[in-house]
Amino acid sequence: MKGHGGHRGIGGAASSRRRAAVTLHDAPGGRSEASRRWLRRQLNDPYVAAARESGFRSRAAFKLEQLNQKFRFLKPGLAVVDLGSAPGGWSQVAAQTVGPSGCVVACDLLPMDPVPHVLFRQGDFTDEATDVWVREALAGRAVDVVLSDMAPATTGHPSVDHARILTLAERALAFASATLAPGGAFVTKLFQGGGEQAFVTLLRTHFQTARYAKPAASRSESSEVYIVAQGFRA
């Protein structure tokens, strides 16, 4: 990861960057048709190359950058909790943005390699032990922003996947409602499928605003959408 403020977001300059090398060894499943489709998508995706060149753990980092460019929920000095943080792209962006006066605490069921200026615990954020650890890691600071880019393992059945990610978002909202300071923000991912409107209506009872967004870095064929809720009513 580059130092704070050292990263340039993807834009016109990205088209002139040399595309990062991707080989069949990178593709899951060897030389199957699925792996060839994955490889073609990786080779043709400018955000994959830009993430590698910028030192980001994943292309998802650009999604958070673009969401923050629009809504400005991350600022220097804020305390941030990143739920479902692995492999660490969102934590990297959060740490860069809040700077040395801020604080980023992250957790995930999966392991995550250390990210500078980020405190990480492997575990379920709904477990009491993880909740206690998060509060201790914050050292008495109120939480300004809760981020969740969590998604379930997809089944290929849109209605099932939609229901599963709604459940994750509801759990993340419960965590945010219990930890956010007044005026805080909550950002979560959903899959479009009909039930998200009821969730947004619920958000609007807790926050002054709750708005949909699909950043440019989100693949057009993906059903994912992000909800940015701001102005938490404690």
Whole-number pLDDT of residue 221:
83
Range in 30-39, 53-62, 147-156, 186-195 the model is least confident about? 30-39
> Who's near 197: CB < 8 A, 6+ residues apart?
none
Nearest in space to 9 (alpha carbons), one of 96, 86, 115: 96
Nearest in space to 186 (alpha carbons), one of 176, 194, 201, 171: 176
Q: Tell me the per-residue pLDDT of 182-210, one tens digit each, with 9 for 90 and over.
A: 999 999 999 988 788 999 999 999 999 99
Q: Which of 2, 63, 75, 189 is catalytic?
A: 189
**Does 70 qualify as catalytic in the annotation?**
no
- Banded pLDDT at 83 (limits 50, 70, 90): very high
- Banded pLDDT at 222 (limits 50, 70, 90): confident
* Rounded Cα gap, residues 27 and 162, in angstroms: 27
Average pLDDT, stretch 138-163? 92
Whole-number pLDDT of residue 10:
32
Range in 53-57, 75-79, 151-155 the model is least confident about? 53-57
* Rounded Cα gap, residues 11 and 14, in angstroms: 5
Contact (CB, 8 A) for 81 and 105: yes
Beta bridge partners, 210, equal 229
**pTM of the predicted model, to two decimals?**
0.81
Query: Is omega for the bond preceding 152 within 30 degrees of 0, making it cis?
Result: no
Beta bridge partners, 14, equal none
In this predicted structure, the answer to whether residue 162 has a pLDDT above a threshold of 50 is yes
Task: Please provide the average confidence, as pLDDT, over all residues in the chain.
Answer: 84
Whole-number pLDDT of residue 43:
52
Angle at 130 between CA 190 and CA 126, to 5 degrees: 40
Per cent of the chain over pLDDT 70 is: 78
- According to the 3-state scheme, what is the secondary structure of the chain? CCCCCCCCCCCHHHHHCCCCCCCHHHCCCCCCHHHHHHHHHHHCCHHHHHHHHHCCCCCHHHHHHHHHHHHCCCCCCCEEEEECCCCCHHHHHHHHHHCCCCEEEEEECCCCCCCCCEEEEECCCCCHHHHHHHHHHHCCCCEEEEEECCCCCCCCCHHHHHHHHHHHHHHHHHHHHHHEEEEEEEEEEEECCCCHHHHHHHHHHHEEEEEEECCCCCCCCCCEEEEEEEEECC
